[in-house]
A and B are shown apart, each in its own frame.
Chain A
Amino acid sequence: MSGAGGPPSPTDPIGLLPPKVGWARRATRSVVPGVVAFVVVFGGWEFGVRYTHIPATELVAPSAIFRELWRAPGFFASNAWVTIQEAFWGFLVAFGVALTAAVVVVHSRLMDRALSPIIVMLQVTPILALAPPLVVWLGFGPQPKIVMAALITFVPLFTNATAGFRAIDPATYEVMRSVDAGRSEIFFRLRVPHSLPYLLAATRVCVGLALIGAVVAEFFNSSAGLGNIMAGAQLYDQTAVVWAAIFTLVFIGVVLVGLVTVVQHRLLRWSEVDAPHP
């Protein structure tokens, strides 16, 4: 049907509203562009590698990478699980510390002034460069990986938590004060809900960061994990294996970010900024 309107109906007698679109067609519309882009990128890659005769140690075709994954899915899965756990615990530690620090900073100007130089220092430190010394200090176990994931996610979590706690509307704050709401009530009734959009946005960013932190720490002295696979395969020129590990990592990241997005839509229906459009 061309033109603006659909067929007349009881709710729309002159057919002004756009025609109703079925879920199948809507899904097709939202998925097709992504699929096309995917095919173009990977098709181009495959084509490029096959017809330019780049040596397999330098760049491998996607087909070779997928073949590697297909050959030993359990191997990649079990190592991925190691990395996921390190990243998860690192994120959780950072989340706890960042939230505590944000609560302190929001409620005490003195602590805000005391902590802000340290936060800035942490922000400008190339955290990944800390991997070798961390391994020296903390040994071969999961600890250096967890610490690495925590360090790299701390600053985004802290800045967003602070911004969220401070994002309260001054008029609403006054209304709460007018009935003598105390600090803790203002915190739980105003600041915490206001910080949710910020914290979830930060979490989305930190999923990728935590995985990076864990993998980079695994490069140095580890016995398992995707970073361990990459380091080992690199040593023996198994470029396809390195790429297979990277693909696994990307897959994990996509799934986790998707999960966070679902949580965002569930929890933030009230938010005007990030509301899903009906």
Chain B
Amino acid sequence: MTPGRRANAPPTGSATAAAAPESATGGRIVVDGVHKHFFHDDRPVVALRDVSLSVAAGEFVSVIGPSGCGKSTLLRVIGGLVAPDGGSVRIDDATPDEARAAKRFGFVPQTPALLPWRSVLGNVTLLRDVGRHRERTRGDATPAPPGDRGRDAIALLEKVGLARFAGSLPRELSGGMQQRVSLVRAFALAPPILLMDEPFAALDEFTRDAMRYQLLDIWSQTKATVVFVTHSISEAVILSDRVITMAARPGRVASVEEITLPRPRSEDMEDSDLFTTHAHRVRTALRASWEGRT
């Protein structure tokens, strides 16, 4: 068994996952007719209007759209960080809040969001430590054996080339390295669902390009469901099984593009005709949603 995997991770199937098989651990997301509005200067702004979508277990879905289209809000509604005003979200058979309590989400924000006083390893294991007291008293969690915890994390850090920085403080790392730590922190939970909010947006282009394939590399071993918010078309196409384009004001789903590029994906696919066709279609959808706005 590959290091960095928990016993409950789904089997490592062949990675052609337009319609990934429904795995035993789940990770299916169903969003049904979700509404959400905020108040901005005392005027209501509709962030999401009647948004419905479903993501199969093990599927990699990107959400792309102009600023203010509610893509980040959608991600937070799925993750139970923002409560919707109407509609429902199901994570397998649970509500987002229940899924959160069961640590079924790995959340990767745009900034690394590391605790500056904790070492790299300490940051990676942080989320597992959260709520351990509660879990122990409730007795409904199966904590990994103590020796295993650190080793899992080290194996993941090794995979992204950061094992020798395990004892370093975040401020001693570059921005790209910090963001890799943030990725590893989410994967270290071995969650069935990963929620990523423009995780590479703050990085320079070379680092971004490298990170895409590093992400795919770690992900291919877990086959977790991924919802990936981005505003990069090429990023969305090369990473995803499906790209969902959203339109703004009110935030809504504008179109869905199935990406038929085979897996595992590689850098030279970005020069292929198929990639260009997909990217062109996403761009067209994006432009239509942008023009429809005004």
Contact = CB atoms under 8 A, between A and B. Distances in A.
A123 interface: no
A269 B169 contact: yes
Interface string A175-198: 111111110010001100100000
Contact of A179 (B103, B113, B118, B171): B103
5 contacts: A178-B107, A179-B127, A180-B97, A271-B116, A275-B171
Interface in A262-277: 269-272, 275
B110 interface: yes
A174 interface: yes
A185 B169 contact: no
A125 interface: no
Contact of B130 (A189, A269, A270, A271): A189
Nearest to B127: A179
Contacts of B169: 269-270
Given A185-B131, A189-B130, A270-B116, A180 B101 contact: yes
Interface string B101-130: 101011101110111111000000011001
Interface of A: 169, 171-172, 174-182, 185, 189-190, 193, 269-272, 275
Interface residues of B, number: 31
Given A180-B131, A185-B130, A189-B130, A272 B100 contact: no
Contact of B113 (A169, A180, A271, A272): A169
B131 to A, nearest CB: 6
A270 B131 contact: no
A12 to B, nearest CB: 22
Nearest to B129: A189
Contacts of A269: 169
B130 A171 contact: no
A175 B113 contact: yes
B195 interface: yes
Contacts of B107: 174-175, 178-179
B192 interface: no
Given A178-B79, A178-B100, A270-B118, 10 more contacts: A171-B111, A174-B109, A175-B107, A175-B127, A177-B81, A177-B100, A178-B107, A182-B131, A193-B115, A272-B171
